[in-house]
Each structure stands twice: as C-alpha cells, then as structure tokens.
Amino acid sequence: MDRSSEIREFLRTRRARITPEQAGLTPHQGARRVPGLRREEVAQLAGVSVDYYIRLERGHTRGVSEAVWEAVARALQLDDAERAHLFDLAQPTIGRTRRKRSLAPQKVRPALYRTLDALSVPAIVQGRRMDILAANRLGYALITDFQARPHRDRNAARFVFLDAAARTLYTDWERVAADCVATLRLYAGRHADDPQLTELIDELSLHSDTFRRLWADHDVLAHTTGAKRLHHPLVGDLTLDYVVLAVEDDPEQTLVIYTPEPASPTAEALNILASWTGTSPTGRPARARRDQQ
C-alpha cells in the first residue's frame, strides 16, 4: 500500500468526524461544504500554517517532525490506537527504522500449546493478518475448524467476510465485520509492504461489498477485551466475554480467551459443547491440535 495515500485518507476521515463544537471552536457563519473540521481549523488547532497542513493531507510528509505529528494527533483527538496507526504510517518521515526483511512464518511455542491444553474454555492463538495459528478443541468447535481448512484460509477475516456460516454464527455480524476491518487496518499501518496482507485485502475487496465500504472508513482498533454474541449451530445462543493477551516473545501473536458468566445458560451450553469435543469429565480439554505451518 502507498503510505502517502494512506496518510492522506486517514487524516481526511479523522477530520471529517469532528465538529467545530467538539474541537472547542466557534463555527464560521454560513453553510459548511465539508463534514467535520475544515483544513484551516485543524491547522489552527495543531499550531501549523494552513499551507503546511494542506501539504500533510495531500500526502507530502517528507521531513515532518514527530512533534508536528503529535500536534496533529491532538488536534484530531485521536485515541491511542489511532495515534499509533498515524505514527506507524509516518515512520519513514520521522526517522524511525523500518523493517525491510521479509516476515518470517509465525510459530506457536510448545508452552503456548500447553496453555491451550490447560484451558477449559474456548481459546485461540491469532497472528499477523488475523491468521489463526492454533486453538484448543473447544476454540475450534466454537467458531469453526480452521485446521480442516487449507493453510491460506486459516484466517479470521476470510471467515467473517467470505464464509456464509459467519453471518449465522455472529449475532452482531456487522459489528464483528467492522472490528475485523479496523484490526486489519492497524496491522496494515505497521506492515504496509506485507505481500500476504495485500493479497488478503485484494481478495476481500473483490468478493465483499461490506469489506470495501468498511475499508474506506480507515477506522482502526486494538482489541483488548469485549463481548461477543453468537448463535452456535449445535448449542444455540451464547454470550461470551473475551480477553486478548499479548504473547511476550512475539508481540504479533495474541491469545484470545472466551469465558461465560458462571452458572449462566451460556456456561451450560459450553459444557454441552465441550462434551461433544472430547473434553474429559474433569473439565480438562483434550490436547490442542497443532496447525501445520
């Protein structure tokens, strides 16, 4: 992806969502031709000239200092994920070292497999581009058996947008789809030159109108905790909290653990699902299956 155009569109979409009132400005009289802030208003808030900010939003970012990007981030009221995304996109212009070597395939360490084995609730290990690297049996049973799919299709984004089963599984499919795209956007800021990411985005854009629409919004999201509502084909409606934990020796791997409220209908349904997936009577899952890399 072209970083200049990515910066241009990201700044434009962030500017469009903020009103002068939200920014603490007195709006000019008369009709406004653009949604949100005007470029001159962002420049005023950031403490730079209008011409300078226009250059930024046109993608001319060579030599722009970190202090200027910080001022722009404050002016646009970026949250932590959005600020990180802006700085990822701006890396070549502020002197940070970019990784130029090819990305090595990701491997799941034996200790992490043992962690999956020890959990009596659904859990998955997610890698770059939302690739599913591993899961315990209950994790596969909850969402889909990624291990049974061709290696390139073991990807959460491909499942959400290209598999009809995902629309039935996720009760709030539109929100799940939006979160999925926003997560991919955050990754794209760090690895714009990843050829597998380009292939994935091209494929999803070709086959999904929803993906194309959401991708154009330039929203970003860093998942940490939340809740998902599902309608499982075997055990019915489920409401699960989830937590996303970073894997210490690989910051681009995360362990996602899904838990039900104790003594809830969802907990009972998970127990039934576990009994159909080889979980022992003690509650300890059968060993997590190793995905072949």
Digit-coded pLDDT (tens) for 212-223:
999 999 999 988
Express each pLDDT in 232-265 by its tens digit: 999 999 999 999 999 887 888 999 999 999 999 9
Query: What local confidence, expressed as pLDDT, does residue 279 receive?
Result: 55
CB atoms within 10 A of CB 51: 10
Query: What local confidence, expressed as pLDDT, does residue 31 receive?
Result: 67
CA gyration radius, the chain: 22
Q: Tell me the C-alpha distance between 246 and 239, whole Å.
A: 23
Domain boundaries, the chain: 3-93, 110-290
Q: Are 124 and 291 spatial neighbours (Cβ–Cβ below 8 Å)?
A: no
Q: Calculate the alpha carbon distances from 224 to 11, 130, 273, 285 in Å.
A: 25, 14, 26, 24
* 3-class secondary-structure state, position 6: helix
Give the mean model confidence (pLDDT) for residues 200-216.
97
* Fold that domain 3-93 belongs to in CATH: 434 Repressor (Amino-terminal Domain) (1.10.260)
Nearest Cα neighbor of 186 from 163, 157, 159 is 157
Query: What local confidence, expressed as pLDDT, does residue 91 receive?
Result: 75
Nearest Cα neighbor of 267 from 277, 276, 259, 275 is 259
Query: What local confidence, expressed as pLDDT, does residue 288 receive?
Result: 55
pTM: predicted TM-score of the whole model, two decimal places: 0.85
Query: What local confidence, expressed as pLDDT, does residue 280 receive?
Result: 44
Query: What local confidence, expressed as pLDDT, does residue 285 receive?
Result: 43
Q: Tell me the C-alpha distance between 123 and 54, whole Å.
A: 46
Second-level CATH architecture of 110-290: 2-Layer Sandwich (3.30)
Query: What local confidence, expressed as pLDDT, does residue 102 receive?
Result: 65
Query: What local confidence, expressed as pLDDT, does residue 105 receive?
Result: 85
Average pLDDT, the chain: 88
Express each pLDDT in 29-85 by its tens digit: 666 777 789 999 999 999 999 999 999 988 888 888 999 999 999 999 999 999 999
Across the beta sheet with 289-290, the strand order is 225-232, 236-247, 250-259, 123-126, 132-135, 289-290
User: With 80 as the cut, is the pLDDT of residue 283 above it?
Assistant: no
Q: Tell me the C-alpha distance between 293 and 149, whole Å.
A: 13
Q: Calculate the alpha carbon distances from 85 to 117, 126, 245, 272 in Å.
A: 34, 20, 20, 42
